[in-house]
């Protein structure tokens, strides 16, 4: 019985080592929860202040965007911090300078999208680029989100042995009034395969363990 358990353990160890290990890393995004802001100098009622941008570390194109404190419209709170970025028909983007795609990896972009209690319905999209190459887009409508709450949306992209060139860019777009975004996160899961010399050493060790297990079993 002990020999059988040992062989199963050795086989599992060998599988993990030879098949590679998935390593998850978080990719740095500046001002990812929009807490860094210019003064909120406009009022939109009790518990509601905002500005029309700019949004530090983010680039805005088209329409109207800025940072807002919207406690009246989100009584359950904000996913991270107390502020959000809002978009009225605009795109909020950030290029992650020096961050490029890695081969044989999976990228997961997550963003919290909100729908205010007054239910200002708008279509929105979340996109990821490498240089000028669009890697993927997640599209939705905040009308499908319970008013006064946020939903965490995900965009997943996997690479092969060759990858598109260029720095990664995140785009957050609203087609109308109003979409709120918060807590933007990007992670990468990369399969790390041991070097050939390391595999040779590990393989020799595993086979040696197997031989020892068989000799011990025969001696009993």
Write down the pLDDT at residue 24.
81
C-beta separation of 31 from 67 below 8 A: no
pLDDT, tens digit, 9 for 90 and up, residues 64-106:
999 999 999 999 999 999 999 999 999 999 999 999 999 999 9
pLDDT in tens, the chain (220 residues): 544 544 444 443 344 344 555 578 999 999 999 999 999 999 999 899 999 999 999 999 999 999 999 999 999 999 999 999 999 999 999 999 999 999 999 999 999 999 999 978 899 999 999 999 999 999 999 999 999 999 999 999 999 999 999 999 999 999 988 999 999 999 999 875 555 554 445 445 544 554 545 455 555 5
Order across the sheet with 59-61: list the strands. Answer: 59-61, 91-96, 168-174, 123-130, 133-141
Closest by alpha carbon to 178, among 37, 52, 79?
Answer: 52
Topology (CATH level 3) of domain 26-192 = Jelly Rolls (2.60.120)
**36 closest CA partner among 53, 11, 16, 61:** 53
Q: What is the pLDDT of residue 130?
A: 98
DSSP 3-state helix, strand, coil percentages of the chain (rounded to 5)?
20, 40, 40
Q: What are the domain boundaries of the chain?
A: 1-20+195-220, 26-192
Distance CA 138, CA 151 (A): 13
- Residues near 197 by Cβ (< 8 Å), separated by ≥ 6? none
Torsion over CA: 145, 157, 198, 19 (sign): positive
């Amino acid at each position: 019985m002990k020999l059988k358990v040992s062989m199963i353990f050795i086989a599992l160890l060998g599988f993990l080592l030879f098949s590679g290990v998935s390593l998850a890393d978080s990719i740095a995004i500046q001002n990812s929860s929009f807490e860094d802001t210019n003064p909120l100098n406009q009022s939109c009622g009790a518990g509601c202040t905002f500005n029309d941008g700019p949004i530090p570390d983010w680039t805005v194109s088209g329409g109207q965007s800025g940072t807002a404190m919207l406690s009246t419209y989100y009584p359950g709170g904000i996913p991270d911090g107390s502020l959000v970025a809002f978009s009225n028909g605009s795109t909020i983007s950030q290029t992650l300078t020096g961050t490029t795609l890695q081969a044989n990896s999976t990228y997961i972009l997550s963003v919290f999208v909100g729908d205010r209690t007054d239910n200002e319905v708008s279509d929105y999209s979340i996109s990821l680029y490498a240089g000028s190459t669009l890697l993927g887009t997640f599209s939705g409508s905040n009308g499908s989100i319970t008013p006064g709450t946020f939903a965490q949306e995900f965009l997943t992209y996997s690479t092969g042995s060759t990858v598109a060139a260029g720095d990664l860019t995140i785009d957050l777009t609203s087609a109308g009034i109003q979409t709120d975004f918060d807590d933007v996160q990007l992670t990468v899961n990369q399969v790390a395969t041991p070097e050939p010399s390391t595999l040779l050493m590990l393989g020799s060790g595993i086979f040696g363990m197997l031989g020892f297990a068989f000799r011990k079993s025969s001696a009993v």
